[in-house]
Structure 1
Amino acid sequence: MKRLHITFPLALAALAVWLGLTLGAGRLLGGGQLSLVESVAGGIGPGWVLAALFALVVALASLDRRAAGLHAPESWKSLRLVLPPLLFSLLMLLVAWADGWPPAKVLLVVGCNTALVAVSEELMFRSVLLQGLLDRHGVWPAVLVSSLLFGVVHTVNGWASGDFGSALWQSLAASLQGVGYAAICLRTRSVWPMVAVHGLWDFALVTSALAATSTGEGSVLPFAAVLAVLPLCLYGVFLLRGSQR
């Protein structure tokens, strides 16, 4: 495979292709306008499969795979930095399942889809895009711009689902979340710990929404999600305090 120097323009071009695969393939092959929760629980998303594969290919093509975060954490002691968001995600899962959980088949589908989304988004935003930004910019501009774009991309869920109000709340939550995710990726120098946390977090939120729908109650999504990610954002700011390189 030909190795690429990941610059910001190249990363933006990859992001455009990734977004087209995520939305376009799902719309063409899935058909119809579904809410995000219905899409995640309704079957394996072809768009998410294609987008995850594309992001993986671009990341693997990087000249510096260590900088892209494709290796194991540089220091296994750095994994302790992942414990707070991991435990927080587990707590969210326990809250989501407090009043029961969806059928096993639904949980399996949701688990597969949230894993695909976690791999796809972390490779695209914390591996490819963040690397492209760091090619020319310092840590904080790179983290803030990549996190902002992470949030902006989530607004297109309104186009896919028709619920633009929820998409805006989700966009704000994703931007805050992105700061924490990027900080931990930079400190551990690996994208994989946050793939696990990201997947668990999405799994907790989606199953919470499914449980609320089945009981006729309101879901914690999307408003509570913004408050839930504030600690993660502040944790990311703490981890990157004083960072210049």
Structure 2
Amino acid sequence: MQASVTSQPYSISLAGRKRMKRLQRLHLTAPLALAALAVWLVLTLGGQWLQSGVRQHSLADAAGGGIGVGWLLAACFAAVVAMTSRDRRAAGLFAPAPMRSARLVWLPLLYALLMLLVAWADGWPPRAVLLVVACNTALVALSEELMFRAVLLQGFLDRFAIWPAVFLSSAVFGAVHAANGFASGDAGAALLQSVSAFLQGLAYAAIRLRTRSIWPMVLVHGLWDFSLMSSMLSATSGGENSVLPYAALFAVLPMCVYGLYLMRAVRGHEMPVVSPQPT
């Protein structure tokens, strides 16, 4: 009898601690997501500025010139915000559910692999540079997918229906890429990259919602950026211009149409799911 009495306070205390732990997790609202985006931008752009100073350089030069401190800090920050989310499944931090929904990534993955093949055919930059590019593009892919398809998209979904949330997060994704014009001094190229990023963002967000995971698009995003940066660096070392960035522009429109197709049955706040296999 005495044992049951003494164990009751402990069980209540344990339940209380569990409740407190749940309360300490972040509820990703739109204002909170936008505030996180502001910090993420400061880390990304500020880190690049501190690393390169006021000197203008291309994005490819930055990707191959050493591990990007800003990209690393931004990736860590986005990971912390996403991991402290109250509902990490809704934020897309787990594996695709169901796992076979990962097959929806086939079109963007096909384009990314074709771009990788073209980059390989053009010739790789030196191995040491290639390794740096691989590390930086992996950081960028992880950082941007966590920030835009996990934190920002989930924050917008807390306030808006699916269609507005997808378009708004993709528009912000495109607008952020226009900032590359300040680093490179090429406003025209930055504008094209901004439009391309917006179209890509629509497809990436659709696949992230259909698979309930950011990880398929982290893979595609990383391969896409790695192919572009390595091809541009290889062409620059040979005194030429890479055709891959222009070819990539023609790939993003079919990807955008594909993303819109995946969301064709969306109504309000309800996202269609991948049907289970018939038994």
Partners in 2 of 1:225 and 1:166 — Cα distance? 13
TM-score, length-scaled by structure 1: 0.96
- The Cα of 1:217 is off from its aligned counterpart by 2.3
- The Cα of 1:170 is off from its aligned counterpart by 0.5
- Is 2:94–2:213's contact at 8 Å kept on the other side of the alignment? yes
- Is 2:89–2:212's contact at 8 Å kept on the other side of the alignment? yes
Matched, 1:14 2:36: yes
Matched, 1:137 2:160: yes
Q: Which runs of 5+ in 1 are unaligned?
A: none
SS in 2 for 1:228: helix
- Is 1:69–1:185's contact at 8 Å kept on the other side of the alignment? yes
In the alignment, residue 48 of structure 2 is paired with which amino acid?
A: G
Matched, 1:5 2:30: no
Which of 176, 181, 194 is residue 158 of structure 1 equivalent to?
Answer: 181
Partners in 2 of 1:34 and 1:195 — Cα distance? 26
- The Cα of 1:242 is off from its aligned counterpart by 1.9
Instruction: Tell which structure's C-alpha radius of gyration is larger.
Output: 2
Partners in 2 of 1:222 and 1:170 — Cα distance? 9
- Is 1:150–1:178's contact at 8 Å kept on the other side of the alignment? yes
1:81-120 residue pairs with structure 2 within 5 A?
Answer: 81-120=104-143
Aligned to 2:254: 231
In the alignment, residue 18 of structure 1 is paired with which amino acid?
A: W
- Is 1:151–1:175's contact at 8 Å kept on the other side of the alignment? yes
- Is 1:166–1:222's contact at 8 Å kept on the other side of the alignment? no
Aligned to 1:188: 211
- Is 1:58–1:128's contact at 8 Å kept on the other side of the alignment? yes
Give the alignment's Cα RMSD to 1 decimal. Answer: 1.3
Aligned to 2:50: 28
Aligned to 2:76: 53
SS in 2 for 1:218: coil
- The Cα of 1:220 is off from its aligned counterpart by 2.5
Aligned to 2:226: 203
Q: Per-residue CA shift, 1:131-188, capped at 9, x if unaligned?
A: 0111111111111111010000001111122221111110010000001100100000
- Runs (4 or more) in structure 1 with deviation over 6 Å come to none
Kindly tell me the number of residue pairs found equivalent between the two proteins: 245
Partners in 1 of 2:238 and 2:251 — Cα distance? 22
More divergent stretch after superposition (89-98 vs 172-181): 89-98
TM-score, length-scaled by structure 2: 0.85
1:33-44 residue pairs with structure 2 within 5 A?
Answer: 33-44=56-67
Partners in 2 of 1:85 and 1:222 — Cα distance? 15
Percent of residue pairs bearing the same amino acid type:
67
More divergent stretch after superposition (68-77 vs 120-129): 68-77
SS in 1 for 2:93: coil
Which of 184, 193, 199 is residue 170 of structure 1 equivalent to?
Answer: 193
Q: Which runs of 5+ in 2 are unaligned?
A: 1-20, 271-279
- The Cα of 1:208 is off from its aligned counterpart by 1.4
In the alignment, residue 261 of structure 2 is paired with which amino acid?
A: F
- The Cα of 1:221 is off from its aligned counterpart by 5.5
In the alignment, residue 28 of structure 1 is paired with which amino acid?
A: L
SS in 1 for 2:86: coil
- Is 2:71–2:143's contact at 8 Å kept on the other side of the alignment? yes
